[in-house]
Each structure stands twice: as structure tokens, then as C-alpha cells.
Amino acid sequence: MQITAAMVKELRERTGAGMMECKKALGESGGDMDAAIELMRKSGQAKADKKASRVAAEGTVVISISDDAKSGVILEVNCETDFVGKDENFSNFSNEVASAALNQDLDDVDALMNATLASGETIESTRLALVNKIGENIQVRRFTKVSSGNSTLGKYMHGSRIGVMVEMENGNDELSKDIAMHIAASKPTCIAEDGVSAEVLQKEKEIFMAKAESSGKPAEIIEKMVVGQIKKFLGEITLMGQPFVKDPDKSVAKLLKENSASVISFHRYEVGEGIEKKTENFAEEVMAQVKSG
């Protein structure tokens, strides 16, 4: 029986596997779709390994904070589609990984993947089993753990895609949540001006200077213009300089001062940031395969 592109496409959609895997399975099953699916299910671990090359840019952010608010973890787990990102099995796995990261002394993702869950299985073996069950590439991408002394941790989740964990001194639950919410919305790059690198400042100054010089104004006026623009720039990128989202007439710095509180650190995660999503064109893929023989 002739294996058509439409048959391969249907099998890909039903299994989430690659084109060549589907074409091979259909050939071995004589074009029987259900038999091809059964063959691919029997491939087990090989199928899971081949999924590792597929781009996982969807997923979830999870934050887990201890009962005493003295230690916490923010974690990102990725999958390929938004549908799987909302799947209960995927969510449960992500929460279990976050709990393991919180309760164990781990330095990086590699160490985390070798850690053991309550089930007795390692996170990596559990991940591979989930890949086979769900049919998508799943990756634990990153995590940050914070252990505080006199300070406490708070959080804010915007759905499951954006999460912020903030470490504060003298911050209550409401204030911590408000600050974390602000960070989620306004994306500051650092807490205050002293956190901005000299390299970044110099680069911005050069840009502002070039723009100002093109105006043809006197040097002393240009200098004042650049100073003003740098000040505005710092206000836009630093947490302390930004207007508070719930009360734009007040800066975050003023809000904290009114509450005798301070921010020690913050971590903002957004699902998929920095991951280049690959757009697949099935027709082009088939043609490329045909041309290659």
C-alpha cells in the first residue's frame, strides 16, 4: 500500500512523533493506522529520547515557599503545547519537582534531575515516563532557590506562565504580594541604580549623547539633556524608580519607605522567555524529504 503524505500527517498528529518515525511505522504496518500507533507505543524509551530535540517553549512556572517563609524555590518546566501545559499530570509533576528542589540541597538542574521524589523514582526517570505518557518533549529548564535569614519570602503568580518570588525585610504578606505583582507587570531589571552595570549606563549615555548632538544645541544644554534622559532611563528599569502599578503617583521606593520595608532580592520567571520557538511547515518538510530521496 502506498504511504501518502496525508497518512503520515495524520499519524504525526495522533502520536506527536517525527515524520520519519511515522513513515517507517506505516510502512511496517502496511498502512494500517492503528497498527502503526501500536508499533510506535511499543518503541517506548526510543520514542521518548527522540522527542528531546523538539522545542519545548510552553509550560508552567511553579513557586514553592516553606511554611516559615524563610526558604523558597521558583521553577520553570517546559512542554511543547499550551494544552499539555494545562494537563493535570504535567502540573502534578511540576509541583513535585518544585517540592524536591525546596526540600533538598541542590546546586543545579542536573543535580535536581538526579534527585529522588517521594515515589522513590528519580525526577529524570519520572520525566521520561511522562514524556511517553503525554507524547511531548518535557524539560525542567531552570530553578532558583532562596534561603533567607531575617527576611521573609513572598510571591505572586499571574496564571501559570509568570511568577515572581520576592525577598523582603519588614514586609507583610500583602505588601510582598503587591511588590511581586508590580515586578510581574513592570519587569524591572534590578532593585536600585547601584545594580545597573557601568557598561549598560555607558552604552545608554552614548546613545542619548548621539541623539542630543544631532539637535545642534550647545554643549551645556546637551549635557543637561543627557543627564535627564539617564535619570529617566534608570527610573524605568529599576524597581525603586518605577511608579507603583496600583498607585502610579507613588514610586515603589516611596511605598517601601512608608512601610519601613526593603526588597533584598527578586526573581521573575516567564514561561519560554529566551527560547526560540520553531515554526514547522509540514508541506515544506515533506518536499525536503522527497528531494533528499
Residue-wise pLDDT for 93-139, tens only, equals: 999 999 999 999 998 999 999 999 989 999 999 999 999 898 899 99
- Please give the Cα distance from 237 to 243 (Å, whole number): 11
CATH superfamily, region 58-192+262-270? Elongation factor Ts, dimerisation domain (3.30.479.20)
Residue-wise pLDDT for 10-35, tens only, equals: 777 777 677 778 888 889 889 988 78
CATH 1.10.8.10 domain locations along the chain: 5-52+278-291
CA 68 to chain centre: 26
Mean per-residue pLDDT for 30-50? 66
Instruction: Inform me whether the pLDDT recorded for 46 exceeds 50.
Output: no
CATH 3.30.479.20 domain locations along the chain: 58-192+262-270
Number of neighbouring beta carbons within 10 Å of residue 284:
9
> Which pLDDT band holds residue 49 (cuts at 50, 70, 90)?
very low
CA 236 to chain centre: 23
Give yes or no for a contact between 118 and 96, defined as CB atoms under 8 angstroms apart. yes
| Distances in whole angstroms, Cα of residue 161 to Cα of each of 16, 72, 74, 209, 243 | 23, 18, 12, 38, 24
Please provide the CATH number assigned to the domain covering 5-52+278-291.
Answer: 1.10.8.10
